[in-house]
């Protein structure tokens, strides 16, 4: 990619995307939104990518919005301010809707919208020494990027209110205790652990994993009946797939399942409109 807002590297079937705004502790920018969204779009169409790890260069995940840029926006008409905010919100949606697993590897700070971005990922690996904060209140702002929605999945309304009204800094250990952190590691080990976790799942059944990701997202929001309907739709579709044929046969034959040959660029469309339409029309 021409943009240096993010750095890309491959670790087998794992794509590592790293925020590269080191001078500003990886504060977010429109350039980052564009670069990350583009990288995710490319990865969605690349059958050799099984999972993505999102991290930051220079010892920090992301310090949130650039306050210097935010300070200039107060002079803009409200419509333009809203349009610029939608850049962040569309980025959060692109992480949520990405059809493959995304794992955040957090060292240092994940503050403000950086916290939102980390929580938007499907899984989170954090160093014990990492620091998380919904610090908006400290500069007279309110949360964005889905921070309150994501935190509300793990904590009570009372705890959520405390976190947002105090802007309290949470250690990786505290956030692990609250629930959002999957793996807690020593300082400097978050990226290696996240890549190992991503590699563990990256060669799994592509379409089944995409549906599982969607089920996990929707399960936090659906009624039981709506979730049962979604589970039924995906189970019926999965039963007729070549992935389930390979998975069941390998189990019965007492061998390791091999989904590599089934991972074709055109098959994985679960999260975009084309495949969603096909799924909805099949039942």
Domains, the chain, with CATH or none: 6-202 (3.90.226.10), 206-282 (1.10.12.10)
- Residue-wise pLDDT tens digits, 27-46: 998 899 999 999 999 999 99
Q: Residue 206's closest CA among 278, 271, 255?
A: 271
Per-residue pLDDT of the chain (283 residues; tens, 9 = 90+): 445 999 999 999 999 999 999 999 999 988 999 999 999 999 999 999 999 999 999 999 999 987 777 777 777 888 888 888 898 999 999 999 999 999 999 999 999 999 999 999 999 999 999 999 998 999 888 999 999 999 999 999 999 999 999 999 999 999 999 999 999 999 999 999 999 999 999 999 999 999 999 999 999 899 999 999 999 999 999 999 999 999 999 999 999 999 988 875 344 443 444 444 444 333 3
Q: Which of 224, 206, 218, 214 minimizes the C-alpha distance to 267?
A: 206
Beta-strand pair 123-127/170-171: unpaired
Tokens coding 129: 């020494």
Q: In the chain, what percentage of residues exceed pLDDT 70?
A: 92
């Amino acid at each position: 990619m021409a943009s240096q807002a993010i750095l890309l590297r491959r670790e087998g079937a794992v794509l590592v995307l790293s925020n590269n705004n080191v001078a500003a502790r990886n504060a977010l920018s429109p350039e980052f939104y564009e670069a990350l969204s583009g990288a995710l779009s490319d990865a969605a169409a690349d059958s050799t990518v099984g999972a993505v790890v999102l991290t930051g260069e220079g010892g920090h995940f992301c310090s949130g919005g650039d306050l210097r840029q935010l300070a200039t926006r107060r002079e803009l008409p409200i419509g333009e301010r809203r349009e610029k905010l939608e850049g962040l919100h569309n980025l959060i949606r692109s992480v949520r809707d990405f059809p493959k697993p995304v794992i955040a590897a957090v060292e240092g700070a994940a503050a403000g919208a950086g916290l939102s971005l980390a929580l938007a990922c499907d899984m989170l690996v954090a160093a014990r020494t990492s620091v998380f904060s919904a610090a908006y209140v400290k500069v007279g702002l309110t949360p964005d990027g889905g921070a309150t929605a994501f935190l509300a999945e793990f904590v009570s309304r009372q705890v959520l209110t405390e976190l947002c009204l105090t802007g309290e800094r949470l250690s990786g250990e505290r956030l692990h205790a609250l629930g959002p952190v999957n793996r807690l590691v020593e300082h400097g080990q978050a990226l290696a652990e996240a890549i190992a976790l991503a590699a563990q799942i990256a060669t799994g059944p592509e379409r089944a994993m995409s549906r599982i990701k969607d089920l996990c997202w929707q399960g936090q929001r659906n009624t039981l009946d709506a979730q049962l309907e979604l589970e039924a739709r995906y189970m019926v579709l999965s039963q007729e797939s070549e992935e389930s044929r390979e998975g069941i046969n390998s189990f019965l034959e007492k061998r390791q399942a091999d989904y590599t040959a089934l991972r074709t660029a055109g098959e994985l469309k679960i999260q975009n409109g084309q495949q969603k339409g096909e799924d909805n029309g099949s039942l």
